[in-house]
Amino acid sequence: MSLPAAEQVRAAGAVLATEASRFSGYGWMRGTAGNLSLVIDRDPLVLAVTASGLEKSELTDRDVVLIDGGGRSIDPTDPRPPSAEAGLHAHIAARTGAGAVFHVHAFDAVVAGHRWPEGVAIRDMEMLKGIGHRAHDETVVIPVIDNHQDMTVEAARFDEVYVPATDDVPEVPALIVANHGMYAWGEDAAAARRHLEIAEWLLRFQVATR
């Protein structure tokens, strides 16, 4: 597999560093927690994902690792490991067609997953428009899966709850991993950020009012 151009990887790293700094400011990526990825190539699938063990508020454009569709590092000259959840990032990108996948440890998402382990149902909220759904007369469920250290297990659990978009109903571009955190994705970094921020707001409302 040929590697993407260094300039392309650095550009992806700069985007992810900016997003990580933003989410760290929200308290969603404390210390080394969380990981973010961007799709660089689709065939074969190649993602830039934040490197493991780094303070997320201090990332630079060099702090990404290239992975394949199985979450494995593909650059033999780079000894750094990708984030532990890299395999799930790659699976979500492949399964949904997303161009960016963001994983954070937002507190209210963890609480919501604990409180509603079968999924968090949300209805009649104006903010649902921000994740592509109707503000009224539709119940949107953000799915919850159990946490596991093996990303092949997590990928299978994702497939069990993921509902692809149809002509009538868009997908729900967010997922809670119980006792862990949440994922959101979109066609690019801006869409993934929007979906993440809006899903977190909706979950925070549910936790505060139920």
Q: What ranges do the domains of the chain cover?
A: 6-209
Query: E-assigned strands of 74-137?
Result: 100-104, 120-123
Percent of the chain with pLDDT over 90: 95
For residue range 148-176, list pLDDT tens digits in order. 999 999 999 999 999 999 998 999 999 99
Answer yes or no: are the C-beta atoms of 126 and 135 closer than 8 Å: yes
Mean pLDDT rounded to a whole number for the chain: 96
User: In residues, how long is the chain?
Assistant: 210
Write down the pLDDT at residue 146: 98
Query: Would you say residue 102 has pLDDT above 90?
Result: yes
The CA distance from 206 to 187, in Å, is 26
The CA distance from 142 to 139, in Å, is 10
Q: Which of 24, 11, 53, 19 is nearest to 36 (CA)?
A: 19
Q: What is the pTM of this model?
A: 0.97
Q: Name the fold adopted by 6-209.
A: L-fuculose-1-phosphate Aldolase (3.40.225)
Query: E-assigned strands of the chain?
Result: 35-42, 45-50, 64-67, 100-104, 120-123, 139-142, 144-145, 174-177, 181-186
Answer yes or no: are the C-beta atoms of 69 and 157 closer than 8 Å: no
For residue range 65-101, list pLDDT tens digits in order. 999 999 999 999 999 988 889 999 999 999 999 999 9
For residue range 36-51, list pLDDT tens digits in order. 999 999 999 999 999 9
The arithmetic mean of pLDDT across residues 179-207, rounded, is 98
The CA distance from 61 to 15, in Å, is 8
Query: Would you say residue 136 has pLDDT above 90?
Result: yes
Alpha-carbon separation of residue 119 from 51, 109, 114, 131, 203 (angstroms)? 30, 11, 10, 16, 11
Strands 174-177 and 144-145: parallel
Write down the pLDDT at residue 83: 84
Three-state DSSP class for residue 45: strand
